[in-house]
Amino acid sequence: MDSIILRSFCIATIALSFTPDMQAQHRYGHYRHYGYGPYRGQRVGYISGPRYVIPFGGISFHYSNGYYYRPYGSYFRVVAPPIGISINILPHGYRRVYVGRVPYYYYGGAYYRPGAGPDRYEVVDAPPGASVPELPNGAKVVVINEQKYYELDGTYYKEDIKDNEEIWYTVVGKDGKINTDEEYVDDGPIEGDIVSKLPAGSKIVTLNGNKYYVSPGDVYYEETAGPDNTIRYKVIGK
């Protein structure tokens, strides 16, 4: 009898350790880690899970599990939700964040406020001062005036160390401007970037027997294979 009880306990313990919801919980709370979701620009052939078609601005966006997809022929591309689009239920795992006394609802880089009509939540611009414990998937590091920020969809975040030493990320800018009113000037592509088209006026150069392309701005590109055997160009230096 004791061996049966012990065996049952071990099986239950193993099953519990592999519960997907528990694995997905963020170490700072019982919320989804947004890094597990799709990233902006990702192409998918199909959308897993329940989805809803939301017509907006002449485009039929597809919404599923907190993410938005735009159809392109035979595939879908993950996109940022347009400002003003609305849903009737917040995605599972959303966070409520406050800026002053104003509540917002956040998930995967999108911010919501109650919209027109009952049970409607409308996508709004990222509110300056909003602070979240994890960056949305796809955020990239940018350096402005020797300060490190993270950017996604034109929204800039900066690390904020809390009293308990946890690192959160606070919205400090939008559309190329940080809250210091200093405009961020785009210096162009950086090493490692991959583009589908060379800048106008680029020329072929040969270095150490290898073919490269150099733009009028002295950015060097190397030809590489992209998805579906298309040609892409990778920035290798300036």
| Residue 126 and residue 39 in one domain | yes
| Residue 33 and residue 133 in one domain | yes
Q: How confident is the model at residue 226 (pLDDT cuts 50, 70, 90)?
A: low
Residue 21: predicted pLDDT: 34
Report DSSP state, residue 49.
S
Provide the number of structural domains found in the chain.
2
| Residue 47 and residue 111 in one domain | yes
Q: Which domain holds residue 94?
A: 29-138
12 located within any domain = no
144 located within any domain = no
Q: How confident is the model at residue 55 (pLDDT cuts 50, 70, 90)?
A: very high
103 located within any domain = yes
Among residues 119, 138, 157, the one where a domain terminates is 138
Three-state secondary-structure class, residue 174: strand
* Cα separation, 164 vs 127, whole angstroms: 24
Residue 19: predicted pLDDT: 33
| Residue 60 and residue 131 in one domain | yes
83 located within any domain = yes
Among residues 99, 120, 138, the one where a domain terminates is 138
* Average pLDDT over every residue of 212-235: 83
Residue 138: predicted pLDDT: 85
Can you read off the two tokens belonging to residue 179?
């809250």
146 located within any domain = no
| Residue 133 and residue 202 in one domain | no
| Residue 134 and residue 35 in one domain | yes
Give per-residue pLDDT as tens, 163-216. Answer: 888 999 999 988 767 875 444 445 567 777 778 888 888 999 988 888 999 998
Which amino acid, 125? D
Residue 185: predicted pLDDT: 47
Taking alpha carbons only, the member of 103, 112, 97 closest to residue 29 is 97
Three-state secondary-structure class, residue 126: coil
Least confident of 29-33, 157-161, 187-191: 29-33
Least confident of 121-130, 133-142, 184-193: 184-193
| Residue 118 and residue 211 in one domain | no
> Residue-wise over 142-158: b if at least 16 C-beta within 10 A, else e?
eebeeeebbbbbebbbb
68 located within any domain = yes
Element (H, E) at 155: strand 155-161
Burial of 66 (0-12, 13-18, 19+ CB in 10 A): buried
| Residue 133 and residue 204 in one domain | no
189 located within any domain = no
User: Other C-beta atoms within 10 Å of 98: how many?
Assistant: 12
Radius of gyration of the chain from Cα atoms?
A: 22
Q: How confident is the model at residue 6 (pLDDT cuts 50, 70, 90)?
A: very low
153 located within any domain = no
* Cα separation, 139 vs 207, whole angstroms: 34
* Cα separation, 78 vs 108, whole angstroms: 12
